[in-house]
């Protein structure tokens, strides 16, 4: 007997701006979304730890080509630092490694914030996805190894105190790519002499998306399965044995357009004929009084639909990455 072929998904494209719940890993979330949409392809724009909640932008189909632009966007986190303990993972997951009876006053914390604002050097946590000699740091840490992770440059736009209590402080930070909030908690705790770790972490925004774009797993399931209610399948394995009516209209309506990830680029409107040429990999002359003559990267659209990302040189658009029509 021949082997059963693997089911091919739908060629659906767009962004799911998921409000990821605590306890769900980023890879698990991507798999769930890919299954709900029955998508051919899916990926996320920046890992969010299982103990963290909030914005996890997930790209479907052609939107996966725009993931780097979202990864490079600024991020906003709301987080709580519990004072008095440092943990191996710098959050609630790991055991306590250092402790103190000291607790910082709000004035002490405020005096420290300038040190953590602007371009600074930061050492990622031992339990992180950083590669050391080809292996993930968290794999080495789980084996009991202490690894030397080099500090790297990050940028923090702002770091504000939202609430202060005797044993913990709530902060909000706006930061660039590569920032570890767990490292902020660890380093502030050490500077204050009382130690600290993350007890709550929520990603509020990932540029260019905002909280208005949020959608939950429950909302997606309701859109996908409608009146099935409690009879809906709970996983892809369950779905194999259940007849589910196929109507993707409601769930597809919850997608954010692929082009939203490219708001940071100059937008060039082109004709249908020019779009056809570009999709074949050919350059086209850019017309229009306001069209830029030079741009390292720009986004070409036809009838509001994304066509390509490319460079503009001497008034000509040269495609680098083309999107299906």
Active site (catalytic) residues = 49
Residues 300, 262 contacting (CB under 8 angstroms): no
Bridge partners, residue 317, by sequence: 284, 312
Between CA 14 and CA 216 the distance in angstroms is 16
Helix axes 26-37, 217-225, angle to 10 degrees: 20
By residue count, the chain amounts to 325
Bond preceding residue 208 cis, omega within 30 of 0: yes
Helices (H) and strands (E) counted in the chain, each on its own, are 9, 17
Residues 224, 217 contacting (CB under 8 angstroms): no
3-state secondary structure 115-161: HHCEEEEECCCCCCCCEECCEEHHHHHHCCCCCCCCCEEEEEEEEEE
Q: Which residues contact 194 (CB under 8 A, 6 or more apart)?
A: 83, 84, 100, 102, 103, 104
Residues 307, 270 contacting (CB under 8 angstroms): yes
The DSSP 8-state label assigned to residue 210 in this structure reads -
Residues 75, 45 contacting (CB under 8 angstroms): no
């Amino acid at each position: 007997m021949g082997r059963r072929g693997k089911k091919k998904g739908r060629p659906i494209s767009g962004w799911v701006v998921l409000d990821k719940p605590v306890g769900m890993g980023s890879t698990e979330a991507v798999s769930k979304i890919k299954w709900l949409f029955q998508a051919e392809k899916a990926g996320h724009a920046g890992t969010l730890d299982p103990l963290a909640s909030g914005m996890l932008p997930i790209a479907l189909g052609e939107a996966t080509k725009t993931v780097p632009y979202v990864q490079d966007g600024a991020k906003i986190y709301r987080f709580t630092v519990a004072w008095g303990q440092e943990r191996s993972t710098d959050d609630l997951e790991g055991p306590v490694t250092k402790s103190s009876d000291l607790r910082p006053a709000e004035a002490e914390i405020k005096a420290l914030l300038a040190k953590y604002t602007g371009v600074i050097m930061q050492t990622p946590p031992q339990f992180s996805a950083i590669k050391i000699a080809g292996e993930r740091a968290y794999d080495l840490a789980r084996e009991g190894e202490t690894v030397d992770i080099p500090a790297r440059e990050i940028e923090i736009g702002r770091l504000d105190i939202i609430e202060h209590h005797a044993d913990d402080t709530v902060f909000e930070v706006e930061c660039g790519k590569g920032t570890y909030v767990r490292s902020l908690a660890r380093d502030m705790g050490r500077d204050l002499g009382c130690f600290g770790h993350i007890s709550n972490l929520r990603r509020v925004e990932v540029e260019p998306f905002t909280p208005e774009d949020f959608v939950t797993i429950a909302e997606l399931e309701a859109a996908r399965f409608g009146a099935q209610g409690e009879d809906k399948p709970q996983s892809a394995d369950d779905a194999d044995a259940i007849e589910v009516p196929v109507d993707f209209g409601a769930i597809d309506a919850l997608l954010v357009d692929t082009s939203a990830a490219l708001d940071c680029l100059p937008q060039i409107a082109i004709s249908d004929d020019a779009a056809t040429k570009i999709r074949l990999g050919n350059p086209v002359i850019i017309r229009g009084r306001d069209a830029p003559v030079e741009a390292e990267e720009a986004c070409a659209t036809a009838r509001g639909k994304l066509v390509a990302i490319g460079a503009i040189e001497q008034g000509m658009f040269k495609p680098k990455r083309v999107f299906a029509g």
